[in-house]
Structure 1
């Protein structure tokens, strides 16, 4: 059901030996390029035609009526509403603490540099659809953008034929709970293009964020520069670092929960314990046939992207999970907090027996839009910072400029850009040796 990879005694960089989903963005680019160009040229007309082709839904308008958003909230199951409200409350607590304050540094008397944190003006937030429904992704996209102070937010989510060509009603209800009423029934690469170029009622956005399939990822790569992006999300993944103190039932349940997302989802256990590996395999054999999406889970666990990785010890295991740079990393060891403190590369770290990834998906307060495919080694998950830009504001008076002018002139001459120095000399004058006076 799940393969073993034995890295005991291995030396060197383990990255090429670790299981990883294949994501052929380059091939997908050839498919999404004409789609995005069509949206750029024909706007709403193209979006309606593409939606009928890819989603089997004939739209007359890409924007979801406000009354449909309100009706979805009115019809929402009270237990689901309560859960979403608690998820929003916890996410706001965490993301509110990520806000940054402007700071002013006095470099010299009369010379200051202020770093202002300015929110992006308009953001397009993508919420995927398909095998599952993701109202939680509405929360994870919208809350940090709102806490950052983004003034204009729009959500796009694929239309569903069974719901009259609207996005899933639970997605619409989550938008209503968050006060977002600009929602579009558009999915896939065409949604990214809609935000990048604008179309009909949808004005151009400065940034697009949110997870999606390979076509969404390819469109983000193609249009990066036309529009800002958060990341190119690939198949979801979990890595679990565990020793023989871990509960094999917990480990197996978490591997299954991640495999439930998609047949290309990655579930990886890293452990020095062959005893634990065997017990987890036994738990998987018992639990997978009993889970609702058993076929999908079994295919994901058996895929090349999943596996049990045997390592020499926990130190070796930490090196391996850092090399893997998982989207989600769970630590289930005898001293999980100490070991978690040593992790450098992960989208999010879940510490101990009672912090499963599924908690982070919904109600931990953390964000579940996270880097995948090893990009956690250089990229952070979605946060308030995603929607803020640091802007330096420079203010020098004449005396402060005159004091530093000789250095500016010297550097401008060293770079053979003398007009740079002359722009300073024009303000403060120059001494007999070419320095400022």
Structure 2
């Protein structure tokens, strides 16, 4: 196979002080206060210094049972508010957050995302989630309890309505004709008159079309959980959790074929593999760091995370008995390549169970692995879920990014202005709507 051309993409996911359970207990983060904005400003600026494509505020990883256990801090800030603040302290890096389509109304979200895209000069992305995220549900109340099928239907309609609202303004609707006294060409602002199963929206949006046309939409797919993987024809950035290269390359190939069958171009989507690297000057040092993190894992935290992953309460099972024969559990363990005979053993490897690739080694070894994965078409790049923040990000930017740049695998400067520019994605063509809707 000929050498793959181009450069890989890198995005950073932010959840608390890292993705390793108990990372907030690590001595290196003793001075971090998650309710202080300076922490997030520093992360975004460091990632931008490393020329990352995007930073994603992740509020989907702290599920209901884990939150009830009170053992992980999560994200204390409302994500859209924090994105607006991050846009003011950065210039290039893309900025994304998740949206609970089961709770919030599409008009409000479309308006917020359009405003953020204008405020950031076109750097916004969003992850539409059918999961009932706890924080917005508590804040807004939301509709009655919905089944999984109903939540997915609502999510699909939500995405459709948001797109139509962004297209309710034509790109050249703002004319600012001072001589004629016309700020907007009203013939280029349209009602959408949407009436569906879950939403009734007249429109138009109260803000001009976003600089990117539509903010970049993110989708999620894992090797064993298909709850969020049913609509991969439309997301433009797919985050894939498949730790084995064979499975990742197979998914990548099938996704492109599926898109082609449905009339989508291969260039219209980027696939990034979740990666959780622990690096050291030597392999021994990296393994020592991994062992230190492992000592912070509390079995009850692992069981709470596992219960959220399977949507099943496992707290009544013995930690030291054999793995219970529960639908989905053994399949998840097998897909992740984990060897565990008890729930206690499994709880210590919970990050692997999510499908995230854990790499332990030196910066050069990590760069080798990333290059091999990229060349084998395992993905178009990597979505970093670092075990420990901010130190893990500082190390990656200082020690791994330069290696990738020397090899020509990663940008040395931003060459565009929008997130779509960074990812090589074209802006969607606005769908024109008649004045009658």
Give me the TM-score of the superposition, normalised by structure 2: 0.29
Larger relative contact order (CA 8 Å, sep ≥ 6): 2
Which is higher, the Rg of structure 1 or of structure 2? 1
Give me the TM-score of the superposition, normalised by structure 1: 0.29
